[in-house]
């Protein structure tokens, strides 16, 4: 093994360090440090100083290496952001399809380079706007989509052969993707030209985000169907965005986010290989990931570097993929919603900027930056503009994109990357020994790890150990008023009218036929995608299709771990 440092340097370092430590001891006896213990927001202990000794056992080629070369610690592309900047992809959706289409055009005009769809809760959960469960929820958290007619309005004026679109949709992913595909067909864009992502990651739903519908096994089946369909017919599409963002938002530590996300990815790879008989190289290049960028600056950068390294190893050695593209971890990042505060909301601009910078230094392929007002409601136009400008300022003004992985070689960054990698592997092995992620979920393991971490953090905030500016320190009594975007109550009425009108004029026989075909396909364990596309084109509603799935596969109820 090529040693990272010469022996003489390490010896010199060691002797200087001992002298320094003696001096420190004397100094802090007179004047103690601010705290007894310093740790990241995830409570990972951080030392006073890092030196060459901390990384003396690193293997330059195996641990650090070069960008575009295995194990990609420094990035998956040879030319990094000099070749291509990360995509400015703002998660966005509100009210009706028309409202959202307007916001999308605004964002594209302001320089966004990729689209990302936020749906409302009824759509996320597979209910139509006219379901009794949807009362009060329509259009509040994102866009309401009931039928293909809504989707056509959503993408009106957007060339689907030129812009890529991400959709945050999980149980009904087959339905939304079918609608997108149907829209592309109407625009005359061939399926092998459309690009985008569907989140479509049910494991993290059971663990954290909790938009679930079907039980775990059939949920996996639908996901493998989309991966298989994408592999065959929509080669530029990322049919899954294996997510850690929500795991972190639910309160996990950074290491848990890293480990559970990667282990989820492994579960999907194994499921596709087993049930679809596909080789990893056939589908792995289109697996994508989604991480959180939280407020502890260095912890996030190291997490992302460790993520690339672990995934490359897993794909190359565990699953024996041969194509280097199968080893690449490509990920989207969102700055941490849970780090933002309702108190003194303008502070959130600062938090988002720092989190965005961490994501860039971590090498993200695409980025969403939260708006300052998202603690209260969906973002106003002005707030979302600031969030987008944050990315553009980082890209154009700060110089951090001039060189690739600039923090490599830092004793601290390389040590912390290694520590997080090792800690993540411990979790991964533990879950392996439980029988895999599905088994672990059934036992409530990741859910309880998250609940414990969330509770611990809350206690640390309550007792002042962890400071949140404006909340438990530097508190101001008077309320800072900011403009709040309100979703008009008439959005729900409008959507109900639209839905009723579509139901009235569509060919009910064609809908019934399509739904029957879908039901039979499910029962015969066929790939559902072609039948789903047929159904959306016949103007079946999202819930009508999801109800077929519910009927065949059953429903999942929240076990309520706390």
Partner 1 sequence: MAKRKLRIMVAKPGLDGHDRGARILARFFRDSGYEVIYTGCHQTPEQIVEAALQEDVDLIGLSCLSGAHKELFPKVVKLLKEKGADDIVVIGGGIIPKQDFQYLYDHGIKAVFTPGTPLEEIKKWIEENVKVREELV
Residues contacting residue 365 through CB under 8 Å, at least 6 positions apart = 86, 87, 288, 330, 331, 332
By beta-carbon proximity to partner 1, the closer residue of 80 and 122 is 122
237-276 in b/e form (b: 16+ CB < 10 A) is bbbbbbbbbbbbbbbbbbbbbbbbbbbbbbbbbbbbbeee
**Nearest approach, Cβ of 455 to partner 1 (angstroms)?**
5
Interacting residue with partner 1 among 184, 356, 487, 546 (CB under 8 A) = 487
Nearer to partner 1, 203 or 310 (CB): 203
Q: Which of 471, 502, 510, 552 touches partner 1 (CB under 8 A)?
A: 471
Residue 241: strand pairing partners: 288
Q: How far is the CB of 263 from partner 1 (least distance, A)?
A: 21
Applying CB under 8 A, among 163, 338, 434, 496 the residue interacting with partner 1 is 338
DSSP string, 142-153: SB---SHHHHHH
Exposed e or buried b for every residue in 72-92, given b needs 16+ CB within 10 A? Answer: bbbbbbeebbeeebbbbbbbb
Across-strand partners of 288? 241
The yes or no reply on residue 343 touching partner 1 (CB under 8 A) is yes
Residue 249 vs 282, nearer CB to partner 1: 249
Comparing CB distances to partner 1, the nearer of 114 and 345 is 345
Q: Would you say 488 or 500 has its CB closer to partner 1?
A: 488
**Stretches 180-188, 425-433, 434-442, 553-561: which one binds partner 1 (CB under 8 A)?**
553-561
Indicate whether 13 belongs to the interface with partner 1 (CB under 8 A): no
- Nearer to partner 1 (CB atom), residue 16 or residue 135: 135
Q: Of the two residues 487 and 521, which places its CB atom closer to partner 1 in the complex? A: 487
State which residue, 225 or 544, has the beta carbon closest to partner 1: 544
Closer of 64 and 372 to partner 1 (Cβ): 372
Nearer to partner 1, 27 or 135 (CB): 135
The C-alpha angle with vertex 260 and arms to 255 and 263, in degrees rounded to 5, equals 125
Instruction: Using the rule CB under 8 A, give the single segment among 216-224, 310-318, 451-459, 506-514 that binds partner 1.
Output: 451-459
Q: Measured from the CB atom, is 275 or 472 closer to partner 1? A: 472
Under a CB-based contact definition with an 8 Å cutoff, are residues 51 and 20 in contact?
no
Q: Contact, 309 vs 369, CB < 8 A?
A: no
User: CB–CB of 401/364 below 8 Å?
Assistant: no
For residue 112, the 8-state DSSP code is: -
CB count within 10 Å of CB 102 equals 15
The 3-state secondary structure of 200-220, one letter per residue = CCCHHHHHHHCCCCCCHHHHH
Please give the size of the binding site for partner 1, defined by CB under 8 A: 45
- Nearest distance in Å: CB 472, partner 1: 8
- CA-nearest of 376, 323, 324, 316 to 346 is 376
The three-point CA angle 289-295-296 to 5° equals: 95
Indicate whether 560 belongs to the interface with partner 1 (CB under 8 A). Answer: yes
Q: Does 451 bind partner 1 (CB under 8 A)?
A: yes
Of positions 12, 479, 493, 500, contacts partner 1 by CB under 8 A: 479
341 binds partner 1 (CB under 8 A): yes
Both tokens of 145, joined, read: 């989509």
Taking CB under 8 A as the rule, which mask of x and - marks residues 312-331 in contact with partner 1? --------------------
Half-sphere exposure of 3 (CA within 13 A, CB side): 9
Q: What is the rounded CA–CA span in Å between residue 218 and residue 553? A: 6
How do strand 237-238 and strand 165-168 relate by DSSP bridges? unpaired
Verify binding: residue 462, partner 1, rule CB under 8 A.
Answer: yes
Q: How far is the CB of 374 from partner 1 (least distance, A)?
A: 9
**Rule CB under 8 A: which of 89-148 touch partner 1?**
121-122, 124-125, 127, 132-137, 140-141
**156-185: contacts with partner 1 (CB under 8 A):** none
- The reply on whether position 209 binds partner 1 by CB under 8 A is yes
For partner 1, the closer CB: 381 or 432: 381
Q: Which positions from 254 through 283 interact with partner 1, judged by CB under 8 A? A: none
- Distance between CA 405 and CA 360 in Å, rounded? 9
Query: CB neighbours (10 Å) of residue 197?
Result: 26
Taking CB under 8 A as the binding criterion, the range among 84-92, 160-168, 341-349, 531-539 that sits at the site for partner 1 is 341-349
Shortest spacing between CB 336 and partner 1, in angstroms: 12
Q: Chain-centre distance of CA 289, in angstroms? A: 6
One of 455, 497, 512, 551 touching partner 1 (CB under 8 A)? 455
How many CB atoms neighbour CB 554 within 10 A? 13
**Is residue 471 a contact partner of residue 461, using CB atoms and an 8 Å limit?**
yes
Candidate list 251, 280, 345, 446; residue touching partner 1; CB under 8 A: 251
| Cβ atoms of 78 and 67 closer than 8 Å | yes
Stretches 191-199, 210-218, 221-229, 410-418: which one binds partner 1 (CB under 8 A)?
210-218
- Find the largest Cα–Cα distance for the chain: 86
Q: Which helix (H) or strand (E) holds 89?
A: strand 87-92
Residue from 54, 149, 249, 267 touching partner 1 (CB under 8 A): that is 249
Q: How far is the CB of 480 from partner 1 (least distance, A)?
A: 11
Per CB under 8 A, the segment of 339-347, 388-396, 432-440, 526-534 that binds partner 1 is: 339-347
Which DSSP string do the residues of 330-367 spell out, in sequence order?
Answer: -EEEEE-GGG--SSSTTHHHHHHHHHHHHHHHTT-SEE
Q: Provide the token pair at 192.
A: 């092998």
- Please select the residue that binds partner 1; options are 13, 152, 377, 400, rule is CB under 8 A: 377
Binding window for partner 1 (CB under 8 A); candidates: 67-75, 243-251, 497-505, 537-545:
243-251
The residues that touch partner 1, with contacts defined as CB under 8 A, are 121-122, 124-125, 127, 132-137, 140-141, 205, 209-212, 249-251, 338, 341-343, 375-377, 451, 454-455, 458, 462, 468, 471-472, 479, 484, 487, 557-562
């Amino acid at each position: 093994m090529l040693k990272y440092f010469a022996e003489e340097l390490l010896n010199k370092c060691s002797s200087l360090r001992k002298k320094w430590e003696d001096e420190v001891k004397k100094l802090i006896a007179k004047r103690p440090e601010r705290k007894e213990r310093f740790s990241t927001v995830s409570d990972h202990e951080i030392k006073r100083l890092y030196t060459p000794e901390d990384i003396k056992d690193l293997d330059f080629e195996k641990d650090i290496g070069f960008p575009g070369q295995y194990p990609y610690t420094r990035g998956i592309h040879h030319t990094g952001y000099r070749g291509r900047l990360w995509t400015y992809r703002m998660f966005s959706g509100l009210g009706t399809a028309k409202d959202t289409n307007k916001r999308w055009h605004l964002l594209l005009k302001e320089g966004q380079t990729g689209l990302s769809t936020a749906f409302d809760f009824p759509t996320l959960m597979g209910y139509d706007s006219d379901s009794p469960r949807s009362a009060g929820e329509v259009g509040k958290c994102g866009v309401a989509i009931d039928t293909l007619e809504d989707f056509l309005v959503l993408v009106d004026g957007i060339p689907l052969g030129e812009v890529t679109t991400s959709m945050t949709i999980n149980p009904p992913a087959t339905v939304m993707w079918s609608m997108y595909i149907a829209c592309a067909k109407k625009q005359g864009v061939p399926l092998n030209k459309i690009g985008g992502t569907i989140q479509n990651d049910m494991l993290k739903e059971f663990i954290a985000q909790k938009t679930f519908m079907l039980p775990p096994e059939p949920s996996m089946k639908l996901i493998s169907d989309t991966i298989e369909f994408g592999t065959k017919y929509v080669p530029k599409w990322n049919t899954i965005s294996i997510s850690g963002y929500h795991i972190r938002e639910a309160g996990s530590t950074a290491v848990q986010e890293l480990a559970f996300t990667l282990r989820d990815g492994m579960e999907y790879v194994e499921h596709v290989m087993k049930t679809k008989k596909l080789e990893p190289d056939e589908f792995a290049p289109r697996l994508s990931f989604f991480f959180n960028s939280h407020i502890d600056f260095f912890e996030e950068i190291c997490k992302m570097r460790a993520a690339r390294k672990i995934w490359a190893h897993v794909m190359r050695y565990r699953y024996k993929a041969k194509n280097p593209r199968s080893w690449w971890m490509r990920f989207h990042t969102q700055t941490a919603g849970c780090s933002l505060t309702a108190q003194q909301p303008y502070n959130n601009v600062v938090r988002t900027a720092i989190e965005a910078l961490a994501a860039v230094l971590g090498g993200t392929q695409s980025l969403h930056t939260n708006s300052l007002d998202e603690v209260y409601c969906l973002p106003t136009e002005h707030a979302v503009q600031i969030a987008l400008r944050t990315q553009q300022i980082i890209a154009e003004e700060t110089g951090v994109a001039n060189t690739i992985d600039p923090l490599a070689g830092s004793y601290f960054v390389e040590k912390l990357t290694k520590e997080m990698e090792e800690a993540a592997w411990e979790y991964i092995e533990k879950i392996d020994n439980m029988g895999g992620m599905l088994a672990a979920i059934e036992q409530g393991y990741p859910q309880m790890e998250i609940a414990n971490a969330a509770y611990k953090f809350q206690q640390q905030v309550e007792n002042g150990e962890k400071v949140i500016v404006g909340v438990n320190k530097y508190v101001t009594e008077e309320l800072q008023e900011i403009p709040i975007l309100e979703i008009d109550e008439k959005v729900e009425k409008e959507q109900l009218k639209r839905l009723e009108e579509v139901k009235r004029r569509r060919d009910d026989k064609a809908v019934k036929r399509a739904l029957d075909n879908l039901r039979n396909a499910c029962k015969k364990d066929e790939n559902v995608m072609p039948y789903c596309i047929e159904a959306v084109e016949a103007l079946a509603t999202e819930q009508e299709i999801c109800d077929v799935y519910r009927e065949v596969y059953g429903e999942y109820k929240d076990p309520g771990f706390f």
